[in-house]
């Protein structure tokens, strides 16, 4: 491991424990600034993430809400450093983990950060786990690679973790292969894997989308309990407006690669300050109400290679004016801590 990179980042560190040494504990846990990711495609350059910024503190849950193609998963992958590049390229911004910009680190250092500092839970556990190894071996691998544990010790740790995430008879199931678990149980294995090395941040990318509601409730409860117990920061990426309402502290709504609204969860559901958020909330049926006609958003999300001029939402927006076509709205401060990328946020709030 090239020590120079680490030294540049701050304090000297030995390669195995790079994580614990040079981080500034007074800085925000995770601070993403103006992140930009482009994809090279046949149709041209797609701006998948277009200047996203947010902060996550320990013990808090940030919900990133958006439809498919809005850039929410790409943001997560950029933070983790697992983007496929090419075609993807991080073209700007900073990802500060306790003050250290991850984007400037080399691959070895980033590998140390992953798992040790940031864990990730993927949507599709069946394809995220390796089908030809037992779950115990895959969980143990983290300890063998990152902690120099023996095989026996690593397996013990694997059993402990499976037990922690509520898999019955963990001692026996540790030798099972991923396909022998049900969908909910596989997701628990994924969570165990993300938690294995005690990270400070967990990124959960659509962790319950493929699951039934009753299992979803179990998994969300497990995540919330573990987060509270360990005081981790949790980023919950989802398109499910109901799930984030239940667990998130803060919400960041994304549209076409940008954040369009950011606020604490109560404010955003109470009175959205961006037309897109407002339209989303009106377009979903609720289980506790018998609705009338749903208010649908006209049109389709834009093509990322040929984004509309001005505000990307203007072709579908009911508040759109001439100005929206030309002038890209900045993130206006609505109230302290509350941001909206709409020229007419006041009108949206009042409506």
Partner 1 sequence: MSEVILAATDVRKYFPITAGVLKRTVGHVQAVDGISLELYQGETLGIVGESGCGKSTLARVLMGLIPATSGSVKLEGEELVGMKPSRLRKIRRDVQIIFQDPYSSLDPRMTVGKIIGEPFEIHAEVAPKGERRRKVQELLEVVGLSPEHINRYPHQFSGGQRQRIGIARALALRPKVIICDEPVSALDISVQAQVVNLLENLQSEFGLSYIFVAHDLSVVRHISDRVGVMYLGKMVELGTEDQIYERPTHPYTQALLSAVPVPDPGLRGHRKQIVLTGELPSAANPPSGCRFRTRCWKAQSVCAESEPALEVRDGGDHPSACHFAEVIDVTHAAY
Are the CB atoms for 37 and 90 separated by under 8 Å? yes
- Identify which of 128, 212, 222 has the alpha carbon closest to the alpha carbon of residue 166: 222
Candidates 35-43, 115-123, 128-136, 210-218 — which segment interacts with partner 1 by CB under 8 A?
Answer: 210-218
Instruction: Lay out the sheet containing 88-97: strands in order across.
Output: 44-56, 30-41, 88-97, 100-101
- Tally the residues of the chain: 351
Q: Which is nearer to partner 1, 198 or 225 (CB)?
A: 225
Q: Which is nearer to partner 1, 26 or 293 (CB)?
A: 293
Task: Please pick, from the candidates 76, 263, 265, 312, the single residue that binds partner 1 as defined by CB under 8 A.
Answer: 265
Q: How many whole angstroms separate alpha carbon 275 and alpha carbon 340?
A: 10
Q: Which is nearer to partner 1, 21 or 213 (CB)?
A: 213
Q: Which is nearer to partner 1, 89 or 338 (CB)?
A: 338
Q: Which is nearer to partner 1, 119 or 275 (CB)?
A: 275
Are the CB atoms for 268 and 336 separated by under 8 Å? no
Are the CB atoms for 316 and 333 separated by under 8 Å? no
Q: Which is nearer to partner 1, 44 or 242 (CB)?
A: 242
Are the CB atoms for 100 and 25 separated by under 8 Å? no
Q: How far is the CB of 221 from partner 1 (least distance, A)?
A: 6
Q: What are phi and psi of 21, to 5 degrees?
A: -100, -45
The DSSP output letter for 303 is P
Are the CB atoms for 61 and 234 separated by under 8 Å? yes
Task: Please pick, from the candidates 53, 218, 271, 328, the single residue that binds partner 1 as defined by CB under 8 A.
Answer: 218
Q: Does 46 bind partner 1 (CB under 8 A)?
A: no
Q: How far is the CB of 70 from partner 1 (least distance, A)?
A: 9
Residues 26-45 that bind partner 1 (CB under 8 A): none
Q: What are phi and psi of 40, to 5 degrees?
A: -85, 115
Q: How far is the CB of 44 from partner 1 (least distance, A)?
A: 18
Q: Does 300 bind partner 1 (CB under 8 A)?
A: yes
Q: Taking the CA atoms of 14, 19, 21 and 24 in sequence, report the sign of the dihedral they define.
A: positive
Could you list the beta-strand ranges (E) of 162-315: 201-205, 233-238, 250-255, 258-264
Quote the tokens at residue 161.
């973790």
- Identify which of 118, 155, 102, 152 has the alpha carbon closest to the alpha carbon of residue 133: 155
Q: Which is nearer to partner 1, 1 or 281 (CB)?
A: 281
Q: Which is nearer to partner 1, 50 or 208 (CB)?
A: 208
Residues 221-260 that bind partner 1 (CB under 8 A): 221, 239-243, 245-246, 248
Residues 269-298 that bind partner 1 (CB under 8 A): 269-270, 279-281, 283-288, 290-291, 293-298
Are the CB atoms for 75 and 159 separated by under 8 Å? no
Q: How far is the CB of 180 from partner 1 (least distance, A)?
A: 13
Q: How far is the CB of 239 from partner 1 (least distance, A)?
A: 6
Q: How far is the CB of 157 from partner 1 (least distance, A)?
A: 25
Task: Please pick, from the candidates 214, 229, 306, 336, the single residue that binds partner 1 as defined by CB under 8 A.
Answer: 214
Q: Does 184 bind partner 1 (CB under 8 A)?
A: yes
* Residues 6+ away with beta carbon under 8 Å from 351: 278
Q: Which residues bind partner 1 (CB under 8 A)?
A: 67-68, 182, 184-185, 212-218, 221, 239-243, 245-246, 248, 265-266, 269-270, 279-281, 283-288, 290-291, 293-298, 300-301
């Amino acid at each position: 491991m090239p020590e120079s990179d680490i030294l540049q980042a701050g304090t000297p560190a030995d390669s195995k424990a790079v994580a614990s040494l040079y981080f500034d504990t007074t800085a925000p846990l995770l601070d993403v600034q103006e992140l930009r990711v482009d994809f090279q495609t046949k149709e041209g350059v797609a701006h998948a993430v277009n200047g996203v910024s947010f902060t996550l503190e320990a013990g808090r849950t940030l919900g990133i809400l958006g439809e498919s193609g809005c850039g929410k998963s790409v943001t997560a992958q950029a933070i983790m450093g697992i983007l496929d590049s090419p075609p993807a390229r991080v073209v700007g911004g900073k990802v500060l983990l306790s003050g250290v910009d991850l984007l400037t680190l080399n691959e070895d250092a980033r590998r140390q950060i992953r798992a040790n500092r940031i864990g990730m839970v993927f949507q599709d556990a069946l394809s995220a786990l390796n089908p030809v190894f037992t779950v115990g071996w895959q969980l143990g691998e983290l300890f063998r690679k990152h902690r120099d544990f023996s095989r026996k010790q690593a397996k013990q740790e694997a059993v402990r973790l499976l037990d922690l995430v509520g898999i019955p008879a963990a001692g026996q199931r540790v030798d099972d292969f991923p396909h022998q678990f049900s969908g909910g149980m596989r997701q628990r294995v994924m969570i165990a894997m993300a938690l294995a090395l005690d990270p400070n941040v967990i990124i959960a990318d659509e962790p319950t989308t493929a699951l039934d509601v009753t299992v979803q409730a179990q998994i969300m409860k497990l995540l919330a309990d573990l987060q509270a117990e360990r005081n981790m920061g949790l980023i919950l990426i989802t398109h499910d407006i109901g799930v984030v309402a239940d667990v998130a502290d803060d919400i960041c709504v994304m549209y076409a690669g940008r954040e369009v609204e950011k606020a604490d969860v109560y404010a955003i559901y109470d009175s959205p300050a961006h037309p897109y958020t407002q339209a989303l909330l009106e377009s979903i049926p609720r289980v506790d109400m018998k609705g009338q006609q749903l208010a649908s958003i006209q049109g389709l999300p834009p093509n990322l290679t040929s984004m509309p001029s001005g505000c990307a939402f203007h072709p579908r927006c009911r508040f759109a004016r001439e100005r929206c076509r030309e002038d890209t709205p900045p993130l206006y401060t609505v109230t302290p801590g509350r941001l909206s990328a709409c020229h007419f946020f006041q009108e949206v709030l009042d409506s």
